């Protein structure tokens, strides 16, 4: 393995971690920086329906709607909102020095416990000297019946 491959893999792992950590903390503008300006994100629900978002501005609407929902619920209850995404078995296939593909499992835990779970199927690229997500398919494999966000 060459040095550039190690750097690419670690950069991509950090990218996925920052996506989840920033999103879980409500730092959506920082989270959006992990995407290429023309990135595509598809959300595939348990029933197979797909919502597609093209570009950072459209992708941002996923999270502004979530934030609005969280803020509304925060005013109704004294409990602070908690959400934590955990990823596992992150596999990264380097195509070349500027393109890669990846996949991993995710599990989302909230105050009530496990909420939903699934897989990220990603494509990565280098934009302005750093790795970014160019395409993400978030496939939900399951969820609890009373899930407030899945």
In CATH, the architecture of 3-143 is Roll (3.10)
More confident position, 124 or 77: 124
Residue boundaries of the structural domains of the chain: 3-143
Helix (H) or strand (E) holding 22: helix 3-24
76-99 confidence digits (pLDDT tens): 555 556 789 999 999 999 999 999
**pTM given for the model:** 0.88
In the predicted model, is pLDDT for residue 67 greater than 90?
no
């Amino acid at each position: 393995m060459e040095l550039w491959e190690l750097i690419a893999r670690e950069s991509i792992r950090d990218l996925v971690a920052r996506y989840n950590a920033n999103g879980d903390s409500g730092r959506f503008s920082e989270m959006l920086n992990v995407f290429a300006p023309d990135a595509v994100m598809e959300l595939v629900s348990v029933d197979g329906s797909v919502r597609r978002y093209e570009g950072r501005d459209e992708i941002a609407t996923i999270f502004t709607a979530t934030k609005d929902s969280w803020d509304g619920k925060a005013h109704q209850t004294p409990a602070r909102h908690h959400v934590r995404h955990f990823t596992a078995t992150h596999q990264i296939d380097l195509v070349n020095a500027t393109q890669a593909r990846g996949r991993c499992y995710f599990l989302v835990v909230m105050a009530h416990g496990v909420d939903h779970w699934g897989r990220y199927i990603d494509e990565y690229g280098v934009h302005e000297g750093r790795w970014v997500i160019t395409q993400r398919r978030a496939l939900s494999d399951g969820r609890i019946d009373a899930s407030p966000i899945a």
